[in-house]
């Protein structure tokens, strides 16, 4: 069964460093999303991406964040200068067609900022 994959599973970085989180969405899916989950809290929307551009972003997704689909398979989230409060699980999700609605999530990347 097709699934969303994410790498790395765990990333430790120092405050102020740049990190890139990688995702491979389900092939032939067209809509891509990043969410984050701070430990013990709910899942929060960060950004949606379609047709090589951002569709919508939350107030969390400030200028320190960027997304990119560098090729036909990968979808990346970059945090330019990490802060302690960026420590969270980051989930990538994808869906096929808007009408299908279902979003499938990857296993997540645990980001720890020290």
Partner 1 sequence: QQQVKQSPQSLIVQKGGISIINCAYENTAFDYFPWYQQFPGKGPALLIAIRPDVSEKKEGRFTISFNKSAKQFSLHIMDSQPGDSATYFCAARLDQGGKLIFGQGTELSVKP
* 33 forms part of the interface with partner 1 (CB under 8 A): yes
Min separation Cβ 36 and partner 1, Å: 11
Say which residue the tokens 């989950």 belong to.
37
Instruction: Specify the stretch interacting with partner 1 by CB under 8 A; choose among 13-21, 42-50, 60-68, 71-79.
Output: 42-50
CA dihedral 7, 41, 63, 56 (to 10 degrees): 90
Nearer to partner 1, 11 or 58 (CB): 58
* 45 forms part of the interface with partner 1 (CB under 8 A): yes
* 111 forms part of the interface with partner 1 (CB under 8 A): no
Q: Is the dihedral of CA 3, 96, 71, 8 positive or negative?
A: negative
Give the x-and-dash track for 57-96 against partner 1 (CB under 8 A): -x--------------------------------x---x-
* E strand map for the chain: 5-7, 10-13, 19-24, 31-37, 43-50, 53-57, 65-68, 75-79, 88-95, 104-105, 109-113
Note the helical H segments in 4-113: none
User: What is the contact surface with partner 1 in residues (CB under 8 A)?
Assistant: 4, 31, 33, 35, 41-45, 48, 55-56, 58, 91, 95, 98, 101-108
């Amino acid at each position: 069964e097709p699934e969303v994959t994410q790498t790395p599973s765990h990333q430790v970085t120092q405050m102020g460093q740049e990190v890139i989180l990688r995702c491979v969405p389900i092939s032939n899916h067209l809509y891509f999303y990043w969410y984050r989950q701070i430990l013990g809290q709910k899942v929060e929307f960060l950004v949606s991406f379609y047709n090589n551009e951002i569709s919508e972003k939350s107030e969390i997704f400030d200028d320190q964040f960027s997304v990119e689909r560098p090729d036909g398979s990968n979808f990346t989230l970059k945090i330019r200068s990490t802060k302690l409060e960026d420590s969270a699980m980051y989930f990538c999700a994808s869906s096929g067609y808007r009408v299908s609605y279902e979003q499938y999530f990857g296993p997540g990347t645990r980001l720890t900022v020290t």
